[in-house]
Structure 1
Amino acid sequence: MATLTRRQRIPFPEMPDWFETIPAKFAMPVVRIEDYTEEGRYVMRAELPGMSPEDLDVVIGDGVLTVKAERTEREVDKNHSEIRYGELSRSVTLPPGADEDDVRADYTDGMLTVSVGMGVEKAEAKHVEIKHHG
């Protein structure tokens, strides 16, 4: 019997910390997150300072929640810049029972909070009848 499993895009939670030690111009931009369950909802908070709500996109489907953000570079002469530009993205696998039709998102003070209802009952395993032709 074959089983399918979903995997988180970044399997090592400590990797975002490791990326922070690389000089900014070489580092891969990482969206820093935290997640937890509160009052029957799965909650994921993403640190996205300096973004406007129009630059953010939250996508949910197939058991995966993805946060995307894009910061465009201003056309000015810079002596020095440690600001990261371009597209940032982070995906997490939703826990069993997550209701993809019950999603809320709020962006306040540089923190995006997305919550997903946990009201879907996990279906019991079912035996499937095998038809034999022969």
Structure 2
Amino acid sequence: MRYNIAKRTPTTFLDDFFNDDFYFPRTNYGSQIDVYQENNKYVVEIDLPGFKREEIDIQFNNDVLTVKADHKEEEVNENKKYYYRSRKVNSFMRQIRFNGIDSGMIQAGFNEGVLKVELPIKEVNEVVNRIEIK
């Protein structure tokens, strides 16, 4: 008896059709992101291929890091005949909550399509107050 593990059903074809970017382009794609702690800081690395440095906006407000990137549509060249065009508009937005960040010391860099944001953790000097019982 032989089994066909690559069997395709009508629903598989429909799923492939509706999940194909050719037919339904997506403007907000899921960029890969890593968040980790290294020494005395949190590090966020986000893959943003195709974006330029000036298209990326980073803000830190009320313990929330917000990263936005908007890639505007390039001018259409009348001399080109496009058969397929999916590089029109890309946008990305991600918010991550952090506690205990020294917001004045946050640093960011963008190299080869990877955004790296370093968020230093505040030094906490825990003071113990002895309370007198009356």
* TM-score scaled by length of structure 2: 0.66
Q: 1:29 is aligned with what amino acid? A: Y
Distance 1:68 1:92 in 2: 12
| Structure 2 gaps, min length 5 | 1-17, 128-134
Report if aligned partners of 2:56, 2:68 keep a CA contact under 8 Å in 1: yes
Which residue of 82, 89, 93 maps to 1:89?
A: 93
Map 1:28-107 → 2, pairs under 5 A: 28-76=28-76, 77-83=81-87, 85-94=89-98, 96-107=99-110
Structure possessing the higher radius of gyration over alpha carbons? 2
Report the alpha carbon displacement of residue 100 of structure 1 after superposing the two structures with TM.
Answer: 1.5
Percentage of identical aligned residues: 25
RMSD after superposition? 2.4
Report the alpha carbon displacement of residue 82 of structure 1 after superposing the two structures with TM.
Answer: 3.5
Which residue of 108, 113, 116 maps to 1:110?
A: 113
Q: Which has the higher strand share?
A: 1
Q: Which has the higher helix share?
A: 2
Report the alpha carbon displacement of residue 118 of structure 1 after superposing the two structures with TM.
Answer: 0.5
Which residue of 19, 29, 39 maps to 1:22?
A: 19
The number of residue pairs the alignment matches comes to: 103
Report the alpha carbon displacement of residue 87 of structure 1 after superposing the two structures with TM.
Answer: 2.8
